[in-house]
Amino acid sequence: MERTQRTAQVGTGPRMQRDLALYATRNFISVLGSMMVPVALSFALFAKGAGAGRVSAVLTAEALPMALFMLVGGVVADRLAPRRIMMAADLLRAGAQGVLATLLIAGNPSFVALLVLAALVGTGTAFDTPGRNRLLTQIVAPDRLAAANSVVMIATSLAVLLGPAVGGVLVAGMGAGWAIALDALSYLISAALLLCLRPVAQQESQARTDADLPLPRAMREGWGEFVRRPWVWLMVCLFGLIHMLSWGPTEVLGALVFAHRPGGAPHWGGLLALMGLGALIGGGIALRVRPARPIRAVLLWFLVYPLGPVSIAVSLPYWMQGVCFLLGGMQMANVNVVWEGALQRAIPPDRLSRVSAYDAFGSFCLLPLGYAISGPLALMLGVSGTLWLGAGCVWLFTVLLLCRRDMRDAASTAE
| Those residues with Cβ within 8 angstroms of residue 68's Cβ, 6 or more apart along the chain or in another chain | 126
φ, ψ for residue 341 (rounded to 5)? -65, -40
Is residue 414 situated within a structural domain? no
Tens digit of each residue's pLDDT (9 = 90 or more) over 120-133: 998 998 888 877 87
If one counts the domains in the chain, the total is 1
Is residue 279 situated within a structural domain? yes
**With 0-12 CB in 10 A as exposed, 13-18 as middle and 19+ as buried, what is 360?**
buried
Provide the residue type at 313 as one letter.
A
Is residue 341 situated within a structural domain? yes
> How far apart are the C-alpha atoms of 305 and 318, rounded to whole Å?
18
Is residue 32 situated within a structural domain? yes
Is residue 55 situated within a structural domain? yes
What residues make up the domain containing 321? Answer: 8-408
Q: Is the Cβ–Cβ distance between 298 and 337 less than 8 Å?
A: no
Is residue 47 situated within a structural domain? yes
User: Average pLDDT over the chain, rounded to whole?
Assistant: 80
Question: Of residues 204 and 44, which shows the higher confidence score?
Answer: 44
Is residue 413 situated within a structural domain? no
Q: How many CB atoms lie within 10 A of CB 9?
A: 15
Q: How many CB atoms lie within 10 A of CB 348?
A: 11
Question: Of residues 296 and 62, which shows the higher confidence score?
Answer: 296
What does the DSSP 8-state code read for residue 251? H
**160 pLDDT above the threshold of 60:** yes
**How many Cα atoms within 13 Å fall on the side-chain side of residue 296?**
13
Tens digit of each residue's pLDDT (9 = 90 or more) over 212-250: 566 677 777 778 888 888 898 999 999 989 988 888 888
Supply the pLDDT for residue 316.
92
Is residue 415 situated within a structural domain? no
Supply the pLDDT for residue 207.
40
* Domain CATH for 127: 1.20.1250.20
> How far apart are the C-alpha atoms of 96 and 98, rounded to whole Å?
5
